[in-house]
Structure 1
């Protein structure tokens, strides 16, 4: 019994259970084939209803927007509720909604039912904030990096396994779409059972914070941090848990549960606003703006790319390889994101130029998908597009994390996601929704390509400005006497006398 208690008290037990939950909740073999399933004989939604301009694209223009709207409305309340309930109940709630979503896909019929299904899926994705917030409340600071790496990797593995499994089952006709959904329900049930065994956290960032009593630290702060590095602090507060009252692991403080109880939501929201203003320095703001803009366009592309594929090559006439494409794009994206960690690049100087250049390449792939008229070109372009986004978002996350502590990083992550979702809601209401312009799928992707072209132009010009300004500042260094200009690259610098 003591062995079990010691095991549960360590960081490995909650991390392992969360990884098991993350894997089984992300194995979704039918997700790459959602449009063929909805337009096939299993559901009462025809291909004409999806693609015809006369019917205004019923599935794409009436059903899918419900997810975006519900996600936006639910995200902030769920974020606060996640902290108030201390994460675990929201993880269970997320899995329950995922189960309901899959069950409705399996048994429900009609447009209204599919809209309700998208609402439940919106609650599922909004609850994802609890997944990573949970682990930060359960493990010591020195294990943050490993725990985050394991949890992110296992999610990517689950998605890749689900895509490959779905492709094999569909290509070899081993299972019908209905049976694949039944298998998904079984996998989701395993995830739900696992979620019940997660230990209950005793603290959270806002509502259940900790008081700290100063004591002499047994170990130095550097010894408590990953790789012996010192934690970067910004602003006046050391954590999001309540300014001077809060305590951090490894700060030489004894942690005692707060006696003042849960604070009001209004006070928490005000604190969130103050923290956001404090965190968004110019470098963080620049990377965050790209994060929000690009994530908005990426989500729109991923959400509606199956409709484009169905338009280019109807699934009734072609053996679709959507699952294989999703798996390859995730794999290549993961490899590129991993490889960028070994690149010796000064991203503070070249980062904005990289964002602009790669965003331009992403826009080119979107235009290529739109006008090529070949499903294989569409597949290849999508793989490049998704890999580029995963590469760039990794750089953005790293640059933002370098400026912030872990707690503030979680806050900025949520704020950037919310900003992206607001932009996505506007784009969906104007471009996709039948109550807006209700554009056909080709015009939608022309819009998305133009959107990324705008992002590319903004950040490319900003990158040029950064390079020119840095070059000018380097060449403007003068001797203490103020006489001659000193330029370290005078021979190769044509403007060193400026």
Structure 2
């Protein structure tokens, strides 16, 4: 996580992040965790396909799979980059509120909208809700010190994980045991999201961001000294103020209004210089992806996430075709909860595995990608609902394990300020590929293939990923051993 600019970010994060109000890290972290938890408690989500196909919606399978679900993919892709820039420019909190509002609109329409066009419009708002995830996961970095990043990230991600598990399990229990209708589950989801939206209003407003509102620490310290001098307080020994080289006593700091106004005007010009921001982003992009390790793991990230999105988006459709929900009890909620919890365990275990990922990472990606392909193939060809459920759990566990390793590997080569850029670019590429795949395979204006043929294509897609990384891994290992041989032959022990 450390980088050439990481130390400077650490120096100003606690001072500028909370608006100079001295707000400790615990309050915004707790509020954000509460928001993430309630936003994720959506007991109706595992039963979405069943809800759309049954009364009162009564949509057809072709409408749901080929005309409605693809809208989410298209809107997510279209909104991701504008939301990325808006998140930084608006300083996170407004976009977090936009996410909550988008999800409220989504579930309100899910309750009362009927017909193809309104449900497609609903999917657009859901795409906006998922595109604004970046504000949730990056907000906390603007209000806490850099040495707390790992801790608060784990708290926020754990909150969403627990919320999703609670939502899935409660949905399953309410449907199977209490006999609640799916309409009632959607009411609970809407209520939970509304609570999250109310919680988000209490989040402190950050005063800085990484690109548009990037305040250098020296300039920030100058402004703090000016303000305190005007109030008649001496801040020479204040622990939160860093002196810039060559600074003298407070009495020598220019306090005239003209100088202060010019400084503020310069700061405003810096904030709105979007051309400079885009140039900086491009330079950072080139520097980040010039690393072979970074490029390799990022390619796998983008390719596999594309396939992962497709499988989880249409898994409920596959289960519905294998065993129609109107004829028997289904356990979608329990399966989602089990796959999430077991995936979390796998993520915890992989954090304690010691291996040379630089040497064997590509081969590991190839082998595990092949296992993912096998799981998807079994889901598609063995028309047994319990086998489908089990294969889905295995699929999610392996993906969550590998994406965690990829995150570790990418993070070790990044400064903190480049996190959002690299992860955003990887996600954007994944969505671009998914959009292309959806347009060709799923969309009614393309091939509009049935669900079983779609999953056969997804299995073949992961096989292709496996072959690419197997070839690349064998080539990398061979090169590494060939480099070692001349070095060993020149060593003193061999002479």
- Please say if residues 42 and 188 of structure 2, whose CA atoms lie closer than 8 Å, have aligned partners that are also in contact: no
Counterpart residue number, 2:349: 339
Contact kept? 1:355, 1:456, Cα under 8 Å: yes
Distance 1:481 1:180 in 2: 70
Q: Return the match for 1:43 from 40, 57, 72.
A: 57
1:18-29 pair list within 5 angstroms: 18-29=32-43
Out of 174, 192, 197, the position equivalent to 2:197 is 192
Matched residue SS, 1:317 = coil
Q: Counterpart in 2 of 1:316?
A: 326
Residue pair 1:207, 1:261 contacting (<8 A) in 2 also: yes
Distance 2:126 2:365 in 1: 31
Name stretches of at least 5 consecutive residues in structure 1 with no aligned partner. Answer: 51-56, 217-249, 487-498
Q: Tell me the secondary structure at the aligned position of residue 9 of structure 1.
A: coil
User: What are structure 2's unaligned runs of at least 5 residues?
Assistant: 1-18, 222-239, 245-262
Instruction: Say if 2:142 is the partner of 1:137.
Output: yes
Which residue is equivalent to 2:30? Answer: 16
Pairing 1:409-428 to 2, within 5 Å after superposition: 409-428=419-438
Shift of 1:267: 2.9
Aligned mates of 1:253, 1:31 — CA distance in 2? 53
The Cα of 1:41 is off from its aligned counterpart by 1.6
1:374 partnered with 2:388: no
Structure 2: distance between partners of 1:300 and 1:251: 50
**Kept in 2: contact 1:207–1:263 (CA 8 A):** yes
Which stretch of structure 1 is more off in the superposition, 257-266 or 24-33? Answer: 257-266
Q: Deviations over 1:422-454 (max 9, x none)?
A: 101100000000101111001100000000000
Of 455-464 and 5-14, more deviation after overlay is shown by 5-14
Give the structure-1-normalised TM-score. 0.85
- Alignment CA distance shift 1:480-1:43 (3 Å): closer
Q: How does 1:360-371 map to 2 (within 5 A)?
A: 360-371=370-381
Question: In the TM superposition, what whole-angstrom CA distance separates every residue of 1:36-67 from its partner, at most 9, and x where no partner exists?
Answer: 1111123131xxx20xxxxxx11100001111
User: 1:85 — aligned with what?
Assistant: 90
Per the alignment, residue 285 of structure 2 pairs with 276
Aligned pairs (5 A) from 1:44-193: 44-45=58-59, 49-50=60-61, 57-193=62-198
Say which structure, 1 or 2, has more relative contact order (CA 8 Å, 6+ apart): 2
CA offsets, 1:259-310, max 9 Å, x none?
A: 5442233332222111100111111010000000000000000000100000
Asked whether the 8 Å contact 2:76–2:130 carries over to 1, the reply is yes
TM-score normalised by the chain length of structure 2: 0.85
Task: Name 1:266's counterpart in structure 2.
Answer: 275
Q: Does 1:407 align with 2:423?
A: no
Structure holding more helix per residue: 2
Alignment match, 1:496:
none
Deviations 1:18-49 (A, max 9, x none): 0000000011101100011111123131xxx2
